[in-house]
Structure 1
Amino acid sequence: MPRILLAAGEASGDGLGSGLIRALRERFPDAEFAGIGGDAMRDAGCQTWHDASELSVMGLVEVLRHLPRLLKLRREFRERALAWKPDVFIGIDAPDFNLGVERWLKQHGVRTMHYVSPSVWAWREKRAAKIGQSADRVLCLFPMEPPIYARHGVDARFVGHPMADALPLQPDRDAARQALGIDSDATVLAVLPGSRLGEVGRLAEVFLQAARQVAEAKPGLRVLIPAANADCEAAIAPLLTATPFPSPRPRLLSGRARECMIAADAVLLASGTATLEAMLAKRPMVVGYRISPATYRIVKALGLLKTDRYALPNVLAGADLAPELMQEDCTAEALSAAVLHWLSDPGAVAGLQARYRELHLALKQDASARAAEAVAELLSAPG
């Protein structure tokens, strides 16, 4: 009866943990699961010592403000973990918290695994070696990641992406439009200016200006703005009120991002995981992003950024499938022109969707089952 300890730090990690627990339960019906998680992991049978929300801290100021509490939580958690005598510890994403726990438990003889690689393909590849000092094995969502770890002597396995398992290869646009109350023949643009307040602050205004320009060129355009959370919705609402749009006015929604993307003819969005979701929804996208000028100068000067592509579909394809407009290139004029290209070229959209389907199939690997297989291998290894 293996004892399996897990720690997930936000909703996405809670979902990954839930799928992994259910897949492991099929292999080990009598296994015990405990650790840090949310409702999904609890529903899957995990005894949670702390809720995942306790680790969900974003931004430097927030992290510094919560640092004493987080350090105390980590110290207490790892001591309780060692006393519980797990057969393996699986840190799910949340690298700032989990890698330290993994390293400490590994030094005390516990097998460790990290599920979801940090973006070593984009930022500071040498982190791969340090991650290997913490984790006996890394489970990767993307196929380009294990070769990077291999260069540093780290055991890493590609298991696929659970989102690719969850989304159908052919999304039902008509059903999404019906659910949102949109005519099947309307032209629809989904606008997603980020899931964090900092992103919304840097991108929402220029995204709305771009959407207005598209609406002026495409009379009757329906613009959908699914806010990631209540704080983002509150930040977007006054900007939307202040932006003059032709009729019909854009709709600001609470959540429903996936529905909006599937319903859309094109998507204007911030760089991040949402670009993967738009790819799996088979929708043409335009990707914009801005970080603070000071941060950008530091990143460029120190050579921390190791990729010329940012959007996940482009990284996965090794090609520029989606326009990327970063920093000073992220203007309303450039964004709207790129969106209008997709709305006026059905042939280009059809070719893009074929490429997106290939990428979807490459990621659709039954990730939870493959991750459970990798955990079972580690448990059975001599050692």
Structure 2
Amino acid sequence: MRYYIIAGEHSGDMHGADLIRQIKKIDHHADFWSCGGPAMSQAIGKPCRVDCGQMAYMGIDFLKKWYTLWRLLQFCQKNLISYRPDVVILIDYSGFNMKLAAFARRNGFQVAYYIPPKIWAHGPGRLASIKRDVDQVLSILPFEAAYYQNRGYHSIAYVGNPLVQKVAGHCINPSFIADNRLDKRPIIALLPGSRLDEIRRILPLMVAQADYFKAYQLVVAGLRALPTSLYTALCPSTVQVVYDQTYDLIAVAKVAIIASGTASLEAALFNLPQVVVYKTHPLAYFFYKKIVTIKHISLVNLFVDQAVVPELIQYQCTREKLCATLTHLLSGSSSQKAAYQVVRQLLGQKNAAIEAAKCIVTSIK
């Protein structure tokens, strides 16, 4: 069968690669047209038709990329018609993918959405579009299915969270510290995310903590998929960057500063104390405040419905407040680890990629 699969960012590329591998195990004649990154290209065995690296943006920075995204949408729509897949698989990246879902529906294609729009965060405005344009929603958050179902959308299933198997299956490098020439001081891990604009806004605040915590070494979780010059320009000589070794870094760190996103959940699965930070363009934040309906931004806090992970958002995200928060976490008085146990229980042990692949392949009409 023919699968048309779209992922718009680094995390979607990783999840898409796992999903593709599982689809290929079920459907030995599977053929793919894809928008993704290096992980999906490797899983398919040929380059993606569109490189998702040019699609990442954050908040108001969309204005800088709207023409590029519009051209990419036109390209994807044209190729959808010519490729004529058995199913369209959309992964996260809702602004772009919901437009593609509407186009696919108008042209009679079956649509599956893996990691759907977070309508529980922004209000149910998009639910009508999902009901109209999406045949099947595959969720990786245990509370999400009930939210959709309570609002009349029942073609949704919780398939498990891919981070559970990813973390459990990772073999920690016992020589990580020596391999990266780190010293004997305890480590504060800095996880600034995967979007260029996000890193430019948040990483300077993170590395500034080196001035306050000289008894610790600050280490950045970098990505080789991004320009190394980005990290070089933003990090002083006192802060080291390690590339594509995030889990090994998390495993040896004492505490982490994390840009809001899935890394918060990964840290929880490693039992690592953390503070979550978020900072965007002031205009984007103004509009977000108008539409966001949730009390917390950390996934850990959303799971347990209380503020166990400190969140420093926008104007609260300052060097001084981050220093005070880290000092508290390093004192060992945090109650985060008890919340992490609750998170593990809620996530369960389902293999998300396997379950999602089964749902997609068996539902093709």
> Under a length normalisation based on structure 1, what TM-score does the superposition of the two structures give?
0.82
Matched, 1:225 2:207: no
Q: Report the secondary structure of 2:324's partner residue.
A: helix
Taking structure 1 as reference, are residues 353 and 104 closer, same or farther at Cα in structure 2, changes over 3 Å only?
Answer: same
Structure 1: stretches of 5+ with no match in the other structure: 243-248
Taking structure 1 as reference, are residues 167 and 361 closer, same or farther at Cα in structure 2, changes over 3 Å only?
Answer: farther
1:325 matched residue in structure 2: 312
Alignment of 1:200-279 (within 5 A): 200-215=199-214, 219=215, 221-228=216-223, 234-241=229-236, 249-279=238-268
1:98 matched residue in structure 2: 97
Does the CA contact (< 8 Å) of 1:321 and 1:352 recur in 2?
Answer: yes
Taking structure 1 as reference, are residues 253 and 127 closer, same or farther at Cα in structure 2, changes over 3 Å only?
Answer: same
Q: Report the secondary structure of 1:321's partner residue.
A: coil
Q: Report the secondary structure of 1:69's partner residue.
A: helix
Matched, 1:360 2:344: yes
The 1-side partners of 2:34 and 2:202 are apart by 37
2:76 matched residue in structure 1: 74
Q: Report the secondary structure of 1:110's partner residue.
A: coil
Structure 2: stretches of 5+ with no match in the other structure: none
Does the CA contact (< 8 Å) of 1:214 and 1:339 recur in 2?
Answer: no
Does the CA contact (< 8 Å) of 1:165 and 1:366 recur in 2?
Answer: yes
Q: Report the secondary structure of 1:117's partner residue.
A: coil
The 1-side partners of 2:176 and 2:165 are apart by 19
Q: Report the secondary structure of 2:265's partner residue.
A: helix
Q: Aligned residue pairs: how many?
A: 360
2:303 matched residue in structure 1: 316
1:187 matched residue in structure 2: 186
**What is the CA distance between 1:189 and its match in structure 2?**
0.7
Aligned-pair identity (%): 27
1:300-348 Cα distance to aligned partner (Å, 9 max, x none): 3x3x011110111111222222111112222222211211222222xx4
Which amino acid is the alignment partner of residue 149 of structure 1? Answer: Y
Alignment of 1:1-383 (within 5 A): 2-45=1-44, 50-53=49-52, 56-58=55-57, 59-81=61-83, 84=84, 86-154=85-153, 155-168=155-168, 172=172, 176-182=176-182, 186-215=185-214, 219=215, 221-228=216-223, 234-241=229-236, 249-300=238-289, 302=290, 304-345=291-332, 348=333, 352-363=336-347, 364-379=349-364
1:162-189 Cα distance to aligned partner (Å, 9 max, x none): 1221112898585543443446x63211
Q: Report the secondary structure of 2:119's partner residue.
A: coil
Taking structure 1 as reference, are residues 34 and 361 closer, same or farther at Cα in structure 2, changes over 3 Å only?
Answer: farther
**What is the CA distance between 1:267 and its match in structure 2?**
0.5
The 1-side partners of 2:303 and 2:175 are apart by 29
Does the CA contact (< 8 Å) of 1:200 and 1:232 recur in 2?
Answer: no
The 2-side partners of 1:17 and 1:36 are apart by 10
Q: Which has the larger Rg?
A: 1
More displaced stretch, 280-289 vs 168-177: 168-177
- CA RMSD after TM alignment: 3.0
**What is the CA distance between 1:73 and its match in structure 2?**
0.3
Does the CA contact (< 8 Å) of 1:276 and 1:312 recur in 2?
Answer: yes
Which amino acid is the alignment partner of residue 75 of structure 1? Answer: Q
Does the CA contact (< 8 Å) of 1:191 and 1:268 recur in 2?
Answer: yes
> Under a length normalisation based on structure 2, what TM-score does the superposition of the two structures give?
0.86
**What is the CA distance between 1:110 and its match in structure 2?**
2.3
Does the CA contact (< 8 Å) of 2:9 and 2:52 recur in 1?
Answer: yes
The 2-side partners of 1:373 and 1:321 are apart by 36
Q: Report the secondary structure of 1:167's partner residue.
A: helix
Q: Report the secondary structure of 1:121's partner residue.
A: helix
Taking structure 1 as reference, are residues 17 and 51 closer, same or farther at Cα in structure 2, changes over 3 Å only?
Answer: same
**What is the CA distance between 1:69 and its match in structure 2?**
2.1
**What is the CA distance between 1:239 and its match in structure 2?**
4.9
